[in-house]
Structures are given as C-alpha cells and as structure tokens.
Amino acid sequence: MSPPDEAWLVDLHVRKEPSVELYRDNDKGFVLLAHVEPRGLYRQPHNHGNGWAFYAVQFGQVEMSTYGIFRQDDREQLVSRGCYSMKPGDCSAFLPGDIHDTRCRSEYVLMFRLTSCDFSEEKREGRLKVYS
C-alpha cells in the first residue's frame, strides 16, 4: 500500500481528473486507471463487453448496484440484484457481461480500475452496452 503522501497519489487527489491511465500492458492488454468522480455522479447500468474489471476504492464512498436481465417476448428488462457501498480498501470484481451502475456518495471518490482490455475498444466494437 502506498503512503498517502506519495507525490503521484497526492497529484491524483489535487487534480481530480476523471480518468488517468497509470499503466498499460501492450502484450497482455490490461489497463490500470485511476478515476475520480464528484458527489452525485451517476453512471447508468452498463457491462464491460468481453472484458473484466476490478474496482478498488482509495478515497471516498461509491454505491454500486448490480443487475440481471429478464427477457420476455423479445424485450429485455433489468432486474436489480442488490446495492452496496464501497469504502476505502474495498474491491469489487465484474466479469464479462456483468451489469452494474455507480453513484458517488461522498465529496468525491478516487477509485483504481484494473481492466482486462481497453474498454474503449469494447465500446467501439459494440460489445460494451449501456442500459437506459
């Protein structure tokens, strides 16, 4: 664990950028990102296409809800699987196709997200889906 006064970590808290790429492995494809989200920011239910992700909270609190899909007569409906809060030190894993949303419940939240691939490619290829 990094001490809270390390320059790179202090910089993330000061700048509060929405997304900062910390590391990318071009051979294996995984990406480590830092995300800062302000109080109340809500990210609609979505999956990560064929990718998986770990979310780890460094500062603040984020609420995560998970969903399943109920299909009937060519219609899809999201069904809640529950909601939980993540605080510093908590980590959640999402497998390919898992659906979740996020809402920042503190002044801001700093999360680290380790992904199996670049999700912008998953989105571009139509595999990453955002639900309304």
Residues 23-52 have pLDDT tens digits of 999 999 999 999 999 999 999 999 999 999
The answer to whether 46 and 119 are in contact (CB under 8 A) is: no
CA dist 63 and 106 (Å) reads 10
The answer to whether 67 and 29 are in contact (CB under 8 A) is: no
Domains of the chain from N-terminus onward: 7-124 (2.60.120.10)
CA dist 125 and 74 (Å) reads 23
**Local confidence band at 132 (pLDDT 50, 70, 90 cut-offs):** confident
State the Rg of the chain over Cα. 15
Q: Where are the beta strands (DSSP E) in 5-52?
A: 19-24, 31-38, 42-46
pTM of the complete model: 0.91
Residues 60-75 have pLDDT tens digits of 999 999 999 999 898 9
